[in-house]
């Protein structure tokens, strides 16, 4: 009778070994010296290399500094902020300038305010792309995307890294556990049939 338990025992062993293997991706977090070998989870042990590869991938393939420059200096994007600039200039010319220089404001009427605003907006429309490009040139070295991503991922706690990867791959991990049980059961059946 106990011979018929072989497929179930094999299924449990298959599931359990895969479950242990998945746990060992993350645990133990700190190296454990067993005398003849040191045991540490794959992700905690290789977190720095993982972070470096991810940083390089992001900087080279996903998001480059040139992509950022292109988006920030896009003339259409700049045109979208012109109404905000116009509103600010309007408020400045009608409220702040008269408060700061009451005598000057007596000589500025509605048509003059409109002309000043139109000239300034036109000038800023030309100046903004150059200012943004110059600003980006100044911060390019500080905005090293590869280093930023690498440092942030390397600084993740092991708990956070496990949480992120479990969140992404939970179904796949579960599938690996189940397939271990199924394969174990099939191997147990084969052993039973061969006995």
For the entire predicted model, the pTM comes to 0.57
Q: Cα dist. 99→91, 96, 102, 111 in Å?
A: 11, 5, 6, 19
Q: Cα dist. 147→133, 144, 153 in Å?
A: 22, 5, 10
Does the pLDDT of residue 1 top 70, yes or no?
no
What does the chain come to in residues?
A: 195
Portion of the chain with pLDDT greater than 70, in percent = 99
Say if CB 90 and CB 108 are below 8 A apart. Answer: no
Contact partners, residue 194, CB within 8 Å, separation at least 6? none
Residue with tokens 């025992």: 9
Say if CB 27 and CB 185 are below 8 A apart. Answer: no
Does the pLDDT of residue 181 top 90, yes or no?
yes
Does the pLDDT of residue 155 top 80, yes or no?
yes
């Amino acid at each position: 009778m106990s011979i018929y338990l072989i497929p179930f025992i094999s299924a449990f062993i298959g599931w359990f070994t895969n479950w242990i293997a998945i746990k060992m991706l993350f645990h133990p977090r700190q190296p454990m010296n067993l005398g003849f070998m040191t045991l540490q989870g794959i992700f905690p042990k290789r977190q720095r290399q993982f972070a470096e590869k991810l940083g390089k991938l992001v900087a080279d393939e996903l998001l480059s500094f040139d992509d950022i420059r292109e988006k920030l200096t896009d003339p259409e994007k700049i045109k979208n902020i012109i109404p905000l600039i116009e509103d600010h200039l309007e408020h400045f010319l009608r409220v702040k300038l008269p408060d700061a220089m009451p005598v000057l404001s007596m000589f500025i009427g509605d048509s003059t305010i409109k002309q000043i605003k139109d000239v300034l907006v036109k000038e800023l429309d030309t100046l903004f792309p150059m200012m943004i490009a110059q600003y980006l040139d100044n911060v390019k070295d500080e905005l090293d995307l590869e280093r930023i991503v690498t440092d942030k991922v390397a600084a993740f706690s092991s708990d956070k890294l496990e949480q992120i990867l479990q969140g992404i791959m939970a179904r796949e991990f579960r599938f690996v556990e189940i397939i271990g049980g199924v394969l174990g059961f099939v191997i147990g059946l084969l052993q039973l049939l061969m006995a």
